[in-house]
Chain A
Amino acid sequence: MAATAAVTVSAPRPHPITKIHCPSHPEAVLVEDYRAGDMICPECGLVVGDRMIDVGSEWRTFSNDHVGKDPSRVGDAQNPLLNGGDLSTVIGKGTGAASFDEFGNSKYQNRRAMTSQDRAMLTAFREINTMADRINLPRNIVDRTNNLFKQVYEQRCLKGRSNDAIASACLYIACRQEGVPRTFKEICAVSRISKKEIGRCFKLILKALETSVDLITTGDFMSRFCSNLGLPKAVQIAATHIARCAVDLDLVPGRSPISVAAAAIYMASQASADKRTQKEIGDIAGVADVTIRQSYRLLYFKAAELFPPDFKFDTPVDKLPQL
């Protein structure tokens, strides 16, 4: 008990981790003796703090253990940001023979009455998860989508709209905000909502949350489209260059960046050894055949200037297909 007198409040340099220190060796890092619950100074052996409570776990739990054996008295990790921190408790499932009636059903039916709001949100999160899973979106985008959905849902401005539509629009916004935009058609492909409805919800959500998103550029989609088409890196770089120059020179005013990107990929692939047809590119990009043709015509004029200087031409510029 003599050590307690050594606990000084007016220590010149307070310990970063513990507030107590050895009086004769204030700089010494205390060693914890877990068996006795003491903190001991390694220099002089003085027991500085006693009855230290060990905050480690009492037992170890493995994931392949049977659920009934786990003596943990706490449930799953909560997601307080998204569910509002429900701290209610429920009666557990019965284990003895008396808790089952003659047919083998449990006598006490645990009816979890979740609020309809929570249920709707959980359904939406599940839906978002499924959608994101279909196009292999990383966890950070899914989390951002969930947060957006929660914000929108709590605001209740878009209450009349279908939750699925709002979820799809949130997914679109999250992808945009993370800097990896997906086209509306790509989101449509994994959702049951029409492009028009997603577009409408998108605009409404931006207004409700008072945010705005950056404009899409042609470069955002190059790597995805090119790898889906199986084009080599050189072609991808060339296509990116073509599209960027085309936009800088403003050869394609009023054309959607997706169409310009598709046309650029077409031009780059036709100039290289890996040629792709307009139909193939249109399938991947979600752009119509004729749209690629239109944008390609605008690019064809200045084809020679658009290619990067170090590009290896398999088909020279004057032999490029003229549509």
Chain B
Amino acid sequence: MEAESEPLPLDILITNVVCVFRVRCHLDLRHIALKGANVMYKRDEGKVVMKLRRPRVTATIWSSGKIISTGATSEDEAKIGARKCARCLQKLGFQVRFGAFRVVNVLAVCSMPFEIRLPDFTKQQRPLASYEPELHPAVNFKIKPLTASMQIFSTGSITITASNVARAAQAVEHVYPLVFASRKGT
């Protein structure tokens, strides 16, 4: 990149990975609620929330067999957590078949080594960036082709939401030169 002499290592911390998968069989939520461990039964909403300890994930289970798992810190961990959840359900007696695992959403946090001038940045990135200081102190920046959106704060922290980890990394790479141009200092 023209802006820097050597590639700067930027730490992108993944804070949350959301994934969906199916167990390919109907589940009796009441049975899970009574016999399962570490579960919460939300009868009004028709779902069971199971919290696992080791990959610290929270799985939301519906009676149709569709499950959403959140809270993992990497894609692999998400898969492990999902399989653990399926195993728990298998132990409860259901004919579980793990399938259709898909990472839906990834939230990552990244911190730039410099502060950012938000009004400058917004002016340059007009339609894609939206900055309303009265509503939120960060700039909302959307990258259309990557379907990634990020919130850029004036301290230099960036929160990225993308459909998978690779895209999140690409989004950071994409936005780095733009943000570098509106940095504070020097």
Which residue of A is nearest B129, CB measured?
A212
Size band of the interface chain B makes with A: 10 to 19
Q: Min CB distance, A224 to chain B, in Å?
A: 15
Q: Which residues of A are found within 8 Å of B130, using beta-carbon distances?
A: 203, 206, 212
Contact assessment for B115 and A256 in the assembled complex, using a CB-CB cutoff below 8 Å: no
Chain A contacts with B in 258-291, Cβ cutoff 8 A: 258
Chain B contacts with A in 142-171, Cβ cutoff 8 A: 153-155
Contact assessment for A254 and B137 in the assembled complex, using a CB-CB cutoff below 8 Å: yes
Known A215-B123, A253-B155; judge A199-B132 contact (CB<8 A).
Answer: yes
Q: Could you say which of A199, A202, A253 contacts B184, with CB atoms under 8 Å apart?
A: A253
Contact assessment for A256 and B127 in the assembled complex, using a CB-CB cutoff below 8 Å: no
Query: CA–CA, A183 to B130, complex, Å?
Result: 17
Which residue of A is nearest B116, CB measured?
A253
Contact assessment for A250 and B134 in the assembled complex, using a CB-CB cutoff below 8 Å: no
Q: Min CB distance, B182 to chain A, in Å?
A: 11
Query: CA–CA, A318 to B137, complex, Å?
Result: 32
Q: Does A216 count as interface, using CB distance less than 8 angstroms?
A: yes
Main secondary structure of the interface of A (DSSP, over half): loop
Q: Could you say which of B117, B122, B131, B135 contacts A250, with CB atoms under 8 Å apart?
A: B117
Contact assessment for A254 and B155 in the assembled complex, using a CB-CB cutoff below 8 Å: yes
Contact assessment for B131 and A256 in the assembled complex, using a CB-CB cutoff below 8 Å: no
Q: Which residues of A are found within 8 Å of B122, using beta-carbon distances?
A: 215
Q: Min CB distance, B49 to chain A, in Å?
A: 27
Query: CA–CA, A42 to B160, complex, Å?
Result: 81
Contact assessment for B137 and A256 in the assembled complex, using a CB-CB cutoff below 8 Å: yes
Size band of the interface chain A makes with B: 10 to 19
Q: Does B93 count as interface, using CB distance less than 8 angstroms?
A: no
Contact assessment for B137 and A250 in the assembled complex, using a CB-CB cutoff below 8 Å: no
Query: CA–CA, A257 to B137, complex, Å?
Result: 11
Contact assessment for B153 and A199 in the assembled complex, using a CB-CB cutoff below 8 Å: no
Query: CA–CA, A253 to B154, complex, Å?
Result: 6
Q: Which residues of B are found within 8 Å of A225, using beta-carbon distances?
A: none
Which residue of B is nearest A206, CB measured?
B130
Q: Which residues of A are found within 8 Å of B184, using beta-carbon distances?
A: 250, 253
**Apart from A215-B119, A257-B133, A258-B133: 15 A-B pairs, beta carbons within 8 A:** A184-B134, A184-B135, A203-B132, A212-B127, A212-B130, A215-B122, A215-B133, A216-B133, A216-B134, A253-B184, A254-B153, A254-B154, A254-B155, A256-B133, A256-B134
Top 5 A-B pairs ranked by shortest CB distance?
Answer: A254-B154, A256-B133, A253-B154, A199-B135, A254-B137
Residue numbers of B with Cβ under 8 A of A are: 115, 117-119, 122-123, 126-127, 130-135, 137, 153-155, 184
